[in-house]
Chain A
């Protein structure tokens, strides 16, 4: 793990290894004069839950759309299992499923019809259609909602229906763009369990989120993204260690000041040196990491 991602990959360069399902290099995406994605290089490893954490407008969705082949990069390459997303897009698409940020189901059709359409588009043999649809629906507990029209479902159920559509062809890489945005806490936890379950069955997951908690509790590795650039990438612990795993908040003159320490002893020593000021010692969060590394003020994730 290191902050300079270019170095990281020049060290491990040379094609797409077996351990890599998605390989993104030097990805740049511009809309007119505006650069939404500004030179991202990273890989998604087979079997992991990989997360993109960043505030709204960071470029998460745009990057994901480039991985799914629907957004053409201005420059840079995306390889899916060794297949170029721009030139060899049919092979790339066979390996990917995505549940987009905005639910993208056909609201004129029922849940079952939506799923069936997706299965047909992915050329699942006729004889397997019903069993595949049923087992994918079963995984997400959607059985009772299959014959309702999409418009009649609540947000959480729509989200699940979209995920079933994304997994019915059994993709190797499942992309979830803000899978829990707008869901209540309970639905969010149910969805996290479903994601872990899918991952345990062998599907690699790449999700985006602007919830710190979600990245921390769900992801094996996290890339922190801001203004289309990579701020840092690594496991949650590695990211914390970049600034120090223990945070000490103090409140000397009414505003919060935070300092980070590698070990508890240093943190305690610092805390006691502050004397009377209100002090709390806690674990560093990914929000601290984001704020430290970008030098931004608090509140961008709210």
Chain B
């Protein structure tokens, strides 16, 4: 019962952001798709074709990786920026805190933008990936992982958006944390190729496990359960932190 009412309330919270997506669908599609498709072109065909000894195998390797990095790139900045702008410039974030809804519903509802964007772009990428690389299979389970990863990274975006006092700080965070993660977390090359200390650091980052999961599912190898567990821990920690920030008036 309580879960249902929180989901209902989360939709109510998300309504404004979802209407924005509906009314600006062209902009949303372009901003969430151009990046991933360029990665596919540049790394899959460009670098893969000229450097790798087995271009097809590399393509099959990076398609799940690009889907994984898209769950980060389509969510984090959008959610962080939306929360930051609505909080500091529009001051409409306050209004959510004034409505008779649970804190959990506010946290989940604010992630809706990220999840919708990630679903739009990842679904398309999976289909394109399947068409250009026969080794990539279409698996409904992959969508579940997209949702879980998108929620995790949206929560991270929300947390950062609630924390930062200036949009410049957000840019700094993106350059120092998000961009390196995008490239290093097993998305475009195998983490084992990194020096051992670096690979341990990278192993601790959530995106690495999204890559592992995507690759396991899309290439029909095994599904790494430890990655599911690690991702779930990140999700829970980010969720709790967002909840706590609102509960204790820190945003």
A: which residues have CB within 8 A of B? 68-72, 90-91, 93-94, 96, 98, 100, 102-109, 113-114, 116-118, 120-123, 165
Provide the residues of chain B in CB contact with A72, threshold 8 Å. Answer: 248-249
Within 8 A of A (CB), among B61-112: 86, 89-92, 94-102
Interface centre among B86, B98, B99 (most CB of A within 10 A): B98
**A70, B12: Cβ atoms under 8 Å?**
no
Q: Given A70-B97, A122-B99, are A104 and B16 also a contact pair (CB < 8 Å)?
A: no
**A105, B92: Cβ atoms under 8 Å?**
yes
**B20, A70: Cβ atoms under 8 Å?**
no
Provide the residues of chain B in CB contact with A106, threshold 8 Å. Answer: 16, 86, 90, 92
CA distance A104 to B89 in the complex (A): 9
**A96, B90: Cβ atoms under 8 Å?**
no
Q: 26 pairs across A/B with beta carbons < 8 Å?
A: A68-B98, A70-B249, A90-B100, A91-B100, A93-B98, A102-B91, A104-B95, A105-B92, A106-B16, A106-B90, A106-B92, A108-B90, A109-B16, A109-B19, A114-B16, A117-B16, A118-B95, A118-B99, A120-B12, A121-B12, A121-B13, A121-B96, A121-B100, A122-B100, A123-B100, A165-B95
Provide the residues of chain B in CB contact with A68, threshold 8 Å. Answer: 98
Contact of A104 among B91, B100, B249 (CB under 8 A): B91
CA distance A138 to B15 in the complex (A): 24
Return the chain B residue nearest A121 by Cβ.
B99
Contact of A108 among B20, B97, B101 (CB under 8 A): B20
Return the chain A residue nearest B95 by Cβ.
A104
Provide the residues of chain A in CB contact with B101, threshold 8 Å. Answer: 90, 121
**B92, A69: Cβ atoms under 8 Å?**
no
**A93, B16: Cβ atoms under 8 Å?**
no
Provide the residues of chain B in CB contact with A69, threshold 8 Å. Answer: 97-98
Contact of A70 among B15, B92, B94 (CB under 8 A): B94
Tell me the smallest distance from the CB of A97 to a CB of chain B, in Å: 9
Return the chain B residue nearest A98 by Cβ.
B98
Provide the residues of chain A in CB contact with B94, threshold 8 Å. Answer: 70, 100, 104
CA distance A113 to B23 in the complex (A): 11
Return the chain A residue nearest B96 by Cβ.
A121
**B97, A104: Cβ atoms under 8 Å?**
no
Interface centre among A103, A116, A117 (most CB of B within 10 A): A117
Within 8 A of A (CB), among B195-236: none
CA distance A68 to B96 in the complex (A): 12
B: which residues have CB within 8 A of A? 12-13, 15-16, 19-20, 86, 89-92, 94-102, 248-249
Tell me the smallest distance from the CB of A7 to a CB of chain B, in Å: 32
CA distance A104 to B100 in the complex (A): 17
Q: Given A69-B98, A94-B100, A96-B98, are A104 and B15 also a contact pair (CB < 8 Å)?
A: no
Provide the residues of chain B in CB contact with A120, threshold 8 Å. Answer: 12, 15
Return the chain B residue nearest A71 by Cβ.
B249
CA distance A21 to B13 in the complex (A): 27
**A104, B99: Cβ atoms under 8 Å?**
no
Return the chain A residue nearest B102 by Cβ.
A90
Provide the residues of chain B in CB contact with A121, threshold 8 Å. Answer: 12-13, 15, 95-96, 99-101
Return the chain A residue nearest B92 by Cβ.
A106
Provide the residues of chain B in CB contact with A94, threshold 8 Å. Answer: 100
**B15, A117: Cβ atoms under 8 Å?**
yes
CA distance A72 to B86 in the complex (A): 21
**B12, A123: Cβ atoms under 8 Å?**
yes
**B91, A109: Cβ atoms under 8 Å?**
no
Tell me the smallest distance from the CB of A32 to a CB of chain B, in Å: 13
Tell me the smallest distance from the CB of B82 to a CB of chain A, in Å: 9
CA distance A100 to B89 in the complex (A): 14
Interface pairs A-B: 5 shortest CB-CB: A104-B91, A121-B99, A117-B16, A93-B100, A106-B92
**A100, B100: Cβ atoms under 8 Å?**
no
**A113, B90: Cβ atoms under 8 Å?**
no
**A113, B13: Cβ atoms under 8 Å?**
no
Tell me the smallest distance from the CB of B89 to a CB of chain A, in Å: 8
**A100, B91: Cβ atoms under 8 Å?**
yes
Tell me the smallest distance from the CB of A207 to a CB of chain B, in Å: 17
CA distance A120 to B95 in the complex (A): 13
Provide the residues of chain B in CB contact with A102, threshold 8 Å. Answer: 91
**A107, B90: Cβ atoms under 8 Å?**
yes
Tell me the smallest distance from the CB of B156 to a CB of chain A, in Å: 22
Provide the residues of chain A in CB contact with B102, threshold 8 Å. Answer: 90
**B90, A105: Cβ atoms under 8 Å?**
yes
**A93, B92: Cβ atoms under 8 Å?**
no
CA distance A105 to B89 in the complex (A): 10
**A104, B96: Cβ atoms under 8 Å?**
no
Beyond A91-B100, A121-B12, 19 extra complex contacts between A and B, CB < 8 Å: A68-B98, A69-B98, A93-B100, A98-B98, A104-B90, A104-B91, A105-B92, A106-B86, A106-B90, A106-B92, A107-B89, A107-B90, A108-B20, A109-B16, A109-B19, A117-B16, A117-B19, A121-B15, A121-B99
CA distance A105 to B96 in the complex (A): 11
Interface centre among B92, B94, B101 (most CB of A within 10 A): B92
Interface centre among A72, A90, A113, A121 (most CB of B within 10 A): A121
